[in-house]
Amino acid sequence: DILSRQFEIIVTIEGTTQETANSIQVRTSYLPNEILWGHRFEHTCVAYDKQLTKYVISYNMLNQFCADRTPRCSARDLKEKKHKMSTLSSLSNVSSCSTIPESN
49-93 residue pLDDT tens = 899 888 888 878 777 888 888 887 778 888 998 888 888 877 666
Computed over every residue of the chain, the mean pLDDT equals 81
**Could you give the 3-state DSSP secondary structure of residue 27?**
strand
What's the residue count for the chain? 104
The whole-number average pLDDT for the span 11-34 is: 90
Q: Which residues of 76-90 are buried (b: 16+ CB within 10 A; e: fewer)?
A: eeeeeeeeeeeeeee
Q: Is the pTM of this model over 0.85?
A: no
Q: Is the pLDDT of residue 42 over 60?
A: yes
DSSP secondary structure code for residue 43 in this structure: G
